[in-house]
């Protein structure tokens, strides 16, 4: 009804077909503002008004398009939703038909993932997923969903035979949930093969595309049903707002069941954050090109460094998922991790010596960010758990920024001494 019904096009004006990625990133989703503002205004309004009572009736009954209440949708959210949907589907065909998608913007990546799970699963259903998940997603599937009768099997989905064996063995499996590339060892799973497997067994498949962004990887191309993002990361690109989006190529399902659920759960975005997101997305291609170029150089530098025992970057042939990454990603991304020979104290010393690069968690900003899981995010996690996820005492995770490469390398070099 109403605001769920608007067009989902990658054209700015009807008839303008954009042929290049950044043109879509800059212009898609935009509608001419009634006051002729160039950029979409921050529609800071909780409600929207009616010319007459009858118009209210038409809007509430879905006979007329228009916004009603910002938990249900808002013009600033709409622009971000349509822009991201356009990018996830730009040039994408599946089974020889062009793919269209609809997205619903959320307050956070976690809110979007929660809507996805609750919209698609019911008590008794199981999720089959890979073990290197984002911490919040793991918490959701292992602690929040089980009391609702939804549980998860966490396996190594890089082994397709094992994945198929699980699916054949457990008929309750309803969803394949993947995140690729993933924390902290930048593991990748094969989207195309897993998607085929899901279709063969009548399962739905969802992909968290946060690390890659639609510029590097478009999961809909392989038949993935749902894509989620933490827009907090590379899509926003500047670390200025928390946000998330859930998208599907099943547009009808998004407009009905998902829309109704999302507006009831209330995990909606806010107009200011949506505005920041829209402006961030416009430079995505330019930023990702630079991020990835820098990341490759950092990986090569670290691989040769005598203080470093291991580098996890899918751009390096030494990474076990190098081939899968090349197959489904334009470039290997901006995230990498590496192990310091000197372990925990080595990690702490290294972090303390950084001068330009920033000591913090998160990712997707222009600034280079480094974190030391053993002394930060995973400080209180038991050793066995850490080993399971590949978090060694000397592991450093890095979001390679867009600064001048020489300055990044200089800072790392002096901190590694």
The rounded distance, in Å, linking the Cα atoms of 367 and 364 is 8
Question: Does the footprint of ligand PLP cover residue 179 (CB under 6 A)?
Answer: yes
Q: Could you give the C-alpha distances from 350 to 303, 340, 363, in angstroms and in order? A: 16, 9, 19
Question: Does the footprint of ligand PLP cover residue 244 (CB under 6 A)?
Answer: yes
Question: Does the footprint of ligand PLP cover residue 134 (CB under 6 A)?
Answer: yes
The DSSP secondary-structure symbol of 182 reads B
Residue of 74, 89, 232, 392 that binds ligand PLP (CB under 6 A): 232
Q: Could you give the C-alpha distances from 198 to 41, 58, 201, in angstroms and in order? A: 41, 41, 5
Residues 403, 368 contacting (CB under 8 angstroms): yes
Query: In 10 A of CB 381, how many CB atoms?
Result: 15
Site for ligand PLP in 86-125 (CB under 6 A): 108-110
Minimum CB distance to ligand PLP, residue 230 (Å) = 3
Letters for 295-334 (x = contact with ligand PLP by CB under 6 A, - = none) are: ----------------------------------------
Contact segment (CB under 6 A) with ligand PLP among 29-37, 129-137, 143-151, 169-177 equals 129-137
The rounded distance, in Å, linking the Cα atoms of 340 and 302 is 10
Per DSSP, the three-state class of 395 is strand
The rounded distance, in Å, linking the Cα atoms of 363 and 237 is 9
Q: Which is nearer to ligand PLP, 176 or 415 (CB)?
A: 176
Q: Total residues contacting ligand PLP (rule CB under 6 A)?
A: 15
Q: Which is nearer to ligand PLP, 25 or 212 (CB)?
A: 212
Residue 398's nearest CA partner among 333, 326, 330 is 333
Contact segment (CB under 6 A) with ligand PLP among 30-38, 94-102, 204-212, 345-353 equals 204-212
- Separate counts of helices (H) and strands (E) for the chain: 16, 14
Minimum CB distance to ligand PLP, residue 69 (Å) = 23
Residue of 158, 221, 233, 255 that binds ligand PLP (CB under 6 A): 233
Interacting residue ranges for ligand PLP, rule: CB under 6 A = 108-110, 134, 136-137, 179, 208, 210-211, 230, 232-233, 242, 244
């Amino acid at each position: 009804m109403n605001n769920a019904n608007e067009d989902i096009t990658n054209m700015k004006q009807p008839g303008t077909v954009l042929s290049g990625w950044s043109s879509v990133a800059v212009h898609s989703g935009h509608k001419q503002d009634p006051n002729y503002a160039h950029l979409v205004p921050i529609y800071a309004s909780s409600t929207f008004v009616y010319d007459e009572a009858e118009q209210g009736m038409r809007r509430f009954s879905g006979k007329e398009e228009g916004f009603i209440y910002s938990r249900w949708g808002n013009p600033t959210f709409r622009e971000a939703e349509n822009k991201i949907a356009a990018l996830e589907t730009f040039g994408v065909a599946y089974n020889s038909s062009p793919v269209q998608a609809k997205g619903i913007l959320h307050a956070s990546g976690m809110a979007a993932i929660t809507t996805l799970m609750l919209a698609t699963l019911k008590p008794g259903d199981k999720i089959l997923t890979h073990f290197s998940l984002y911490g919040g997603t793991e918490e959701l599937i292992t602690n929040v969903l089980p009391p609702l009768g939804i549980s998860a099997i966490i396996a190594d989905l890089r082994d397709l035979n094992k994945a198929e064996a699980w699916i054949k063995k457990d008929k309750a499996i309803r969803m394949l949930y993947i995140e690729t590339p993933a924390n902290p060892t930048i593991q990748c799973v094969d989207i195309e093969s897993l998607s085929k497997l899901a279709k063969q067994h009548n399962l739905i498949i969802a992909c968290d595309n946060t690390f890659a962004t639609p510029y590097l990887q478009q999961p809909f191309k392989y038949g993935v049903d749902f894509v989620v993002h933490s827009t907090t990361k590379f899509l926003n690109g500047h670390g200025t707002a928390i946000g998330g989006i859930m998208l599907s190529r099943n547009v009808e399902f998004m407009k009905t069941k998902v829309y109704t659920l999302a507006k009831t759960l209330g995990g909606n975005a806010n107009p200011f954050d949506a505005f920041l997101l829209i402006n961030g997305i416009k430079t995505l291609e330019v930023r990702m090109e630079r991020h990835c170029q820098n990341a490759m150089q950092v990986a090569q530098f670290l691989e040769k460094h005598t203080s470093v025992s291991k580098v996890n970057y899918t751009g390096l042939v030494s990474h076990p998922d190098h081939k899968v990454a090349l197959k489904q990603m334009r470039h290997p991304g901006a995230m990498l991790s590496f192990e310091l020979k000197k372990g925990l104290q080595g990690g702490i010393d290294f972090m303390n010596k950084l001068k330009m690069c920033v000591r913090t968690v998160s990712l997707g900003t222009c600034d280079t960010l480094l974190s030391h899981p053993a002394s930060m995010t995973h400080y209180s996690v038991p050793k066995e758990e850490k080993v399971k996820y590949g978090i060694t005492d000397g592991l450093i995770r890095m979001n390679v920024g867009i600064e001048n490469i020489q300055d990044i390398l200089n800072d790392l070099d002096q901190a590694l001494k």
